[in-house]
Chains A and B, each alone.
Chain A
Amino acid sequence: MMLRFLRIPAWPLTVTVPLLVAGLMIGVAVVISEIVVSRLIRDQETNLTLLANAYLDGLSAAVLPAVIRGDVWETFDALDRARGQYSGVEARYAIVALPNGTVLAASDPARFPIHSAVPAELHAKSPHDDGLVIDYDARRAWLSRGLRAEGFSVGRILVEIDIASLLHVRSQVVLTLILVNGSLALAFSLIGYFAVKYMLRPFGVLAQYVERVREGRAEPIPERHYKRVPAGFGQLFDRFNAMARAVSERESLASHLAEQEKYAMLGRLASGMAHEVNNPLGGMMNAIDTIQSHGDDPAVLSKSLEFLKRGLAGIRSVVRAALVTYKGGSDTSVLTPTDLDDLPFLVQHETGVRRLRLDWRNRVIEPLPINGPTVRQITLNLLLNACAASPVGGTIEVEASCLNGALRIAVSDHGPGLPDEMAGLLTSNGQMAAPTRDRKGLGLWTTAQLVGRLGGIVAIERPDVGTRVVVTLPLAKEGARHAA
C-alpha cells in the first residue's frame, strides 16, 4: 500500500511538479554547494600555503644569521617577535632544529627546551621536505623549511599552525550555503506549488467534464470557467466543447437510431406474432365451421372445442409475452422465472421460419433482485442475434442460472462466429461510441449499454462452432431491493 502511495504518477500534478522543482533545486543547491566548498577548500589551502611560505620566508631570514652563530637568544627573539606578526598564520609554536636533531630555540621553550631532542612525533607529522601538511581532523597544519647557508644545511624550522579559524570559516560558508539554498529551494517549491496549482486549475475543470462524458453526459464547459485561466486554455476549452457537442449529437443520433431499431424489431416481432396468431386462426375457423356443421355430434364438438382451446392458449401466450415485454410489469426490480420463460414465444416466429431448435434451460427457480424488464431485453436481443446468426435448422442454446449472487445468462449459436468489431461492441461495457454509419451492431451496442447500466460484464467465448455470449449481472442486495 505504501509503495503504491509512493508511486509518483499517482500523486496530483500540483504536488509532483513542486516536488520535482524542489528536488531539482536541492540537486542544483547540492551541486553548487559542492563546487563552492571544493573551491573554498582549494583556495584556503592555496592561501594557507602562500601565507605559510611568506611566514617561513620572513622567519628564515630573521633567524638564519642567529642560527649560523648558534645564538640561542637571537633565535628565540626572532621566533618570539614573529608571533602574531603574520595574520592568517596562527602558529602554536615554532622550533628551530639543528642538523643534529636538537632544538636550538623554540617559541615555547618550556615545551621544547634548548638542546633537547625534537620529539619524534613532531618529526613524523612534519613534512620531510619543505612544505605543508594539513590534518583537518586534528585542526592543525605543520610547516617545515630547511635553513641553508653557503650550500650547507644549518638547521630546519618546524611550525605547528592552528587552522581552527580556517575550518570555522569553512563551516560558516557551508552553513550559509545550506540556509540560503534550503530557503531558495523551499521558496521555489512554494512558488512552484502555487504556480502549478494555478496553471493546472483548467485541467481540473477539463477532467471534471471529461469524467461526465465517461458517465454518458457530454456537457460543454460553461463560460464562467473561461475566466482567470492562463492563455491557451480558452482554446482548449473551445475544442473540448466542440467535441462534447459532437459526442452529444452522436449520442442523440444513436439513441434515435436505437429507438428506430427498437421499432423495427417491434415490427418484426409484431409480424411474427401476427403470423403466430394467424396460423391457429385458420384451424380455429375450421373448427368453428366444423362445430356449426357437425356440432350435434358430441365427439366432433368436443374435439373441435379442444382444438379451439389449444389455439386460443397459444395466442394467449404470444400476446402475454408481448405485453410483458413492451408494456412493462408492475415491479421492475424483480426478475421472475416466468419473465424468462416467455421469451421463446417472442422468437417463435424467427425459430419457426429458420427451423431452428431452441434448447431452453432456465435454472432460475425463484424471483431475483434485479431489473426484470432490462434482463428480458438483454436476453431477447442476444436470442434474436443468435437466431440471425444461426444457419437454417441449427440449434440455439440458452441457459440462465443464478450463482454466487449473480445472474448468468449464456446464449450459444452454431453460426459462423461473431466478428471481432461486433464482439468489441458487446464487451465495451457501453464505453464505445454507437455505430451510426450503417446501423450494423446497433442491437449489440444497445445490449452492452443495458449490461453496463446493470453493472454487469459480457464475455465472448468461441467454441469450435459458433459463438457463446455469457452475460454476468450482479444481483442487488436484498435490503436495497426492499428499499426500492
Chain B
Amino acid sequence: MRTADNKSGAPGVTCLRRSVLAGAAMAATLRMPRAARAADGFSFGLTPLFLDNDIELLSMLKQYLTKQLERPITLVKRRTYHEISAMLLSGQLDAAWICDDPYVQYQDKLALLAVPFYRQKPLYQSYVIVNENSKAQAFDDIRGTVHAFSDPDSTSGYLVTRWMLALRQITPARFFRDSFFTYGHRNVLRAVGADLAQSGSIDGYVWDVMAEREPDLVRKTRIIVKSEWLGFPPIVAPMAIRDAPAVKALAAALLEMPSDPLGRDILQVLALDGFVEGTPDMYQSTMEKWLLVKAQA
C-alpha cells in the first residue's frame, strides 16, 4: 500500500469548509446514506472520465467490488460531474469517483478514500490543446478561437483554463470567440480534432492515455500549455459514513487492487498503477485556483 504524503510533493493544504450547496442537495445531505443504514447494497458513482465506451470497465469494476465488498454494487454513471456530485451530497450515492474541483468545493462534507496513482504519482496535469493545423504556440495565441471545455465542474477541463483567464482578468466570453462544453474529455479531443473548436481544455491523463490507445484521434491535436501538477481526481464518500464498514471496505478494495488479478485488469484498462491514501492538502493548488475563479465571478 502506498501513500501520497511522501510522494506527491504537493504543498500542505488547509481544509476549507464549503457551505455553498444547492438547496435540494443541501437538504439531501441530511439524509442517512444507504451504506450506513443497511449492508445489503452499495452505490458507487462514476464521473465520465475518459472512456465513452466503458461497458467492459464497468462490468469488471462491478464484479471486483461486489466480490471485495461482499454485497451488491450499483455503479451509477451520469453525463455531468455536477449530477454525480449532487447525488453524492444528497445521500443517493455511498461513494463516488469525482473530480478534484467538486472535492475542494465540498471538502468538509466529503471524506477522501483513495487517490489514483498514475505514473508513480497521485497527480495529473491539465492541458490546453489546439488543432494540429493551428499556429498557436502559447495560451495567449488561442485568443479569439472557439474553445471546447469539458465540464463546468472539471478542474482540468475548465477550472485551470478559467484560472489562467482570471489571472489575465478576462472572462471566457471575452477571450474566446465562442466556447462550449462537451461533457467529456474524449469529446474535447474530438471537437478540437474535427476543428469544431480550435482549442480545448483537457485532462492530461486522458490525453496521454488516448495518445496510446487512439493515436489517430490524438494526432489531430497539439498541446500548447501544460499546467502544474494537481491532485488526481479522488474517490470520496460522504463524511457522515466515512467509518461505515462498506465504505472502509471500498477504500481497502481500491488500495489492494494491484494484488488482485481482476483488480490488475481494471488498472490496466484505466492505465493506472493503483490507488493510494490521499490527504486534503494534495488539493491545495486546486483549491487556490477555485477560490480565485470564484472571487472573480
A residues bordering B, Cβ < 8 Å? 71-73, 76-77, 80, 105, 108-110, 113-115
Contact = CB atoms under 8 A, between A and B. Distances in A.
B190 interface: yes
Nearest to B146: A114
Interface in B167-188: 178, 180-183, 187
A71 B190 contact: no
26 contacts: A71-B180, A72-B178, A72-B180, A72-B196, A73-B148, A73-B181, A73-B182, A73-B183, A73-B187, A73-B191, A76-B191, A76-B194, A76-B196, A77-B190, A80-B194, A105-B196, A108-B194, A109-B194, A109-B195, A109-B196, A110-B194, A110-B195, A113-B146, A113-B195, A114-B178, A115-B178
A105 B178 CA distance: 13
A80 B195 contact: no
A105 B197 CA distance: 11
Contacts of A71: 180
Interface of B: 146, 148, 178, 180-183, 187, 190-191, 194-196
B178 A73 contact: no
Contact of B190 (A72, A80, A108, A110): A80
A115 B146 CA distance: 10
A237 B194 CA distance: 89
Contacts of A115: 178
Contacts of A80: 190, 194
A110 B191 CA distance: 11
A109 B180 CA distance: 14
A198 to B, nearest CB: 70
Nearest to A71: B180
A383 B178 CA distance: 127
B103 to A, nearest CB: 25
B147 to A, nearest CB: 11
A109 B196 CA distance: 5
Of the listed residues A72, A105, A114, A115, the one surrounded by the most CB atoms of chain B closer than 10 A to its CB is A72
Nearest to B190: A80
A300 B180 CA distance: 167
Contacts of B146: 113-114
Q: Which 5 A-B pairs have the closest CB atoms?
A: A109-B196, A110-B195, A73-B182, A72-B180, A109-B195
Given A73-B183, A77-B182, A80-B190, 13 more contacts: A73-B181, A73-B182, A73-B187, A76-B191, A76-B194, A76-B196, A77-B190, A80-B194, A105-B196, A110-B195, A113-B146, A113-B195, A114-B178
A26 B195 CA distance: 56
A77 B190 CA distance: 9
A355 to B, nearest CB: 131
Nearest to B182: A73
Contacts of B148: 73
Nearest to A111: B195
A115 B181 CA distance: 16
Contacts of B195: 109-110, 113
B194 A73 contact: no
A72 B180 CA distance: 7
A114 B195 CA distance: 10
B11 to A, nearest CB: 35
Nearest to A73: B182
Contacts of A105: 196
B6 to A, nearest CB: 41
A77 B178 contact: no
Contacts of A73: 148, 180-183, 187, 191, 196
B150 to A, nearest CB: 10
A71 B178 CA distance: 12
Contacts of A110: 194-195
B154 to A, nearest CB: 14
A202 B180 CA distance: 93
A109 B148 CA distance: 13
A77 to B, nearest CB: 7
A117 to B, nearest CB: 15
Nearest to B188: A73
Of the listed residues A71, A105, A108, A109, the one surrounded by the most CB atoms of chain B closer than 10 A to its CB is A109
B258 to A, nearest CB: 36
Contacts of A72: 178, 180, 196
Contacts of A77: 182, 187, 190
Contacts of B194: 76, 80, 108-110
B222 to A, nearest CB: 15
Of the listed residues B181, B191, B196, the one surrounded by the most CB atoms of chain A closer than 10 A to its CB is B196
Contacts of B190: 77, 80
